[in-house]
């Protein structure tokens, strides 16, 4: 660095910031993940102020290992009433996260970040297509169904096709 350039930089900078609850980037957000069956861990779940009825889930892939640490995101709308069909998707997520039928059939339950954060989930992932204006999709599956589908794809978690 020249003397002129050295005088134009500030190495005495500082600022105040609260980093509590902020996830560091993994450096692999833009990794292309093919369609297939994956396991992951829910690392974050939250609601944005602009869509207060939609829960966003951050999922860190754990299997297969070649995609371990890659983060994928899915959002789910909260049920609006006792007959809202979105309840089927919440049931799928809860079963995927390891909750038993007995637990889920016990009557009204409370779902919150504590119910999902840190839990392993099983899912089918389909990449989006920006050119066709399609977003990526994650379909949560109960562990037994995930195993059945994954094995049908040749015994591997990876494999294209519909769930």
Six-digit token string for 50:
């602009």
Six-digit token string for 19:
């980093």
Residue 158 has what DSSP assignment?
Answer: B
d(CA 94, CA 141): 9
Q: Which of 117, 119, 121 is nearest to 89 (CA)?
A: 121
Beta-carbon neighbour count of residue 96 at 10 Å? Answer: 25
pTM for the whole thing?
A: 0.76
Task: Dump the DSSP string for 105-143.
Answer: TSS-----HHHHTT-EEEEEEE--BGGGTB--EEEE--H
Residue 162 has pLDDT above 50, yes or no: no
Confidence of residue 24 (pLDDT cuts 50, 70, 90): low
The mean of the pLDDT values for the chain is 83
Q: Where are the beta strands (DSSP E) in the chain?
A: 36-47, 54-63, 71-77, 120-126, 137-140
More confident call, 120 vs 20? 120
Please report, rounded to a whole number, the percentage of residues in the chain having pLDDT higher than 70.
76
Q: Could you report the per-residue pLDDT of 40-49, keeping only the tens digit for each?
A: 999 999 998 8
Residue 22 has pLDDT above 60, yes or no: yes
Q: Could you report the per-residue pLDDT of 28-68, keeping only the tens digit for each?
A: 556 789 999 999 999 999 998 888 889 999 999 999 999 99
């Amino acid at each position: 660095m020249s003397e002129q350039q050295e005088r134009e930089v500030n190495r005495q900078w500082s600022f105040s910031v609260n980093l509590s609850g902020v996830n560091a980037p993994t450096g692999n957000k833009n990794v292309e993940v093919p369609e297939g069956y994956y396991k992951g861990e829910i690392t974050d779940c939250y609601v944005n102020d602009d869509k207060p009825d939609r829960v966003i889930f951050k999922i860190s892939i754990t299997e297969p290992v070649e995609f371990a640490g890659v983060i994928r995101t899915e959002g789910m709308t909260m049920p609006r009433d006792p007959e809202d069909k979105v309840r089927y998707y919440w049931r799928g997520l809860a079963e995927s996260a390891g909750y038993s039928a007995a637990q889920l059939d016990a009557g009204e339950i409370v779902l919150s970040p504590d119910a999902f954060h840190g839990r392993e989930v099983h899912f089918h992932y389909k990449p989006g297509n920006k050119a066709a204006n399609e977003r990526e999709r994650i379909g949560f599956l109960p562990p037994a169904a995930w195993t059945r589908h994954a094995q049908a794809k040749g015994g591997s978690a990876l494999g294209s096709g519909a769930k």
